[in-house]
Structure 1
Amino acid sequence: MPPILGHGLANKPAISPPRPVCPMVPCWPWANLPILFICFHPGLAVAPRKFLSKLSNQSSNRRNRRANTGRKGMDAQLAGQRILVTGSSRGLGAEFARCIAEAGGSVILHGRDQERLAAMKSSLPGAGHDMVSFDIRNIEETTRAVDGLELTGLVNNAGITDTKPIHEASEEDIRSVLETNLIGNLYVYKAVVPQFMARGGGVIVNVASVLGHRPLPQVGIYAASKAALIQATRSGALELARHQIRVNALCPGYVKTDINRDFLESPAADGLRKKILLRRFAEASELRPALMMMLDPSNSYMTGTTITIDGGMEAGL
């Protein structure tokens, strides 16, 4: 019988590695090449500190050039894109709008507070930004508002929450959350798809939640709405792939924004913080890389995907 892996090796002679070229470093010969280079390079014999400083400066310059090149690429990543961000007057929506604008895209802001929207619009870098106001729970109003915007993308971000056990929630509580987080988001989705079909493609990012995967007490209605939105995302990807329309979902954990920062930074949130593997809540800026990945036109092979950014909360529950 052949020995089980890890057994039957006790009587075999040990195999010693070849003697290193440089006896100061007990490792394989090729690992000594830098040492040999340093020992025998003529420049070091004359002025070793000056030579090493020159090497370090050259390396630093190369890193800076690469960083600057990447920054320029990021600044123009969404150039030519017109993206509607619902619920973008504050909170995560405002962060997403800034992210898109800083990447060279044109943002269509959405919300009910006209004054706040106007201030948000004026603060965005770049040009071509606009603002619209409509009730996403009204399909006729939504369709009229979206028609003619010439969009290339949608970030379906508008949403509300409710912190009651399901059995204590009123009919109005249940209806309000579901009509906004699920039905309203689907109305906006439904309104933009004909535009995307006509132009030969587009991208939709539905902002769901980690609670759509793993719910907690007191947020059952909210969790149900986000779970349904995740499944709608997957169905939409199946239905729209042949039209070159990508549909994905972003599932944040608990993120500090202007809406909830006071609570999340208070002792009352300590129990919630302990459920997160990283033992902290996210900053809104930490969602940017995932959002950009989903919106970037060059990332044309991603659809039907959910990305969870939760500090390990789902894994720890």
Structure 2
Amino acid sequence: MSDPLTEVVRLLQPRAVFANLISGKGNWAVRYARYGRPGFCIVLEGGALLAVDGHAPIAIAAGDFVLLPTTPAFTMSSFVPAPPVFIDPDLVPGGQGELRHGDQDGPPDMRSLGGAFVFDGADSGLLVSLLPAVVHVRGSQRLVQLVQMVGEEYAERKPGSEFMLSRLVEMLLVEALRSGTAVTAPPGLLRGLGDERLAVALKQMHAHIDRSWTVAQLAKEAALSRSAFFDRFTRAVGIAPMEYLLAWRMEIAKDLLRRDELSVAEIAERVGYGSASAFSIAFSRQVGRSPSRYARAQPETSDNR
């Protein structure tokens, strides 16, 4: 059966657009302006205090992974902070060596890898819809191993490191998504997958996107009455079942159009429409432009993995 979480990550096609090693010693603080795109921090050694605007400060330690889907302004500091150094993330290039804050001599009290994701596929709004504003994952042995591998790969820069880092970033993102529980996740796919009844229906929708589903059929998959399923799905996922199915079909269709490997009629059949015209009408209403206009607007260098 299809795994919706895997499909989402594949559709996003995440990679690290830039990353820098950041370290601190003594009393220090650094203040980052709002970035607006997905950012992350992997703590390699020691610990620090992270204060994201609008959220209570959190202590981060070696092995921790923090994901900020929209990266608001934040401050990172020692546990006894100093006056902050202000940084505009839009002006910080990646791969510029280690950025040291506080005392410049001696081994650091904290080392981390901080950077930002770029998505070669779907819009990052898909990620934002799945996660809380601050994702802090700790205490996971699998995560610790991934963090260590990212740190080693980034430091050693062996042949093939760009490919390795992109795959590791994908795995880190999956672990972050997995960390979202039915309690902490906002309404969306993650909360739906946290409900064992709804998860069955969601997996069936993803596995058979071309099927002419009805609410009654999906309710039967979830072993719920039609009305109970509709209400439970809408509360957990944030939209009605047929709205969710339409939105996911359009995400798949956009991905296929970006790849430029199938005709509009073939894509229509792939995502469950009986004709190219019916698909084109639905796509235009949902996306705001026709399938052919959407395909023409894609960069020629688009990743066709």
Structure 1 length-normalised TM: 0.23
**Greater share of residues in helix:** 1
Q: Which fold has the larger relative contact order, with Cα–Cα distance below 8 Å and residues 6 or more apart in sequence? A: 2
Structure 2 length-normalised TM: 0.24
**Greater share of residues in strand:** 2
| Larger Rg belongs to | 1
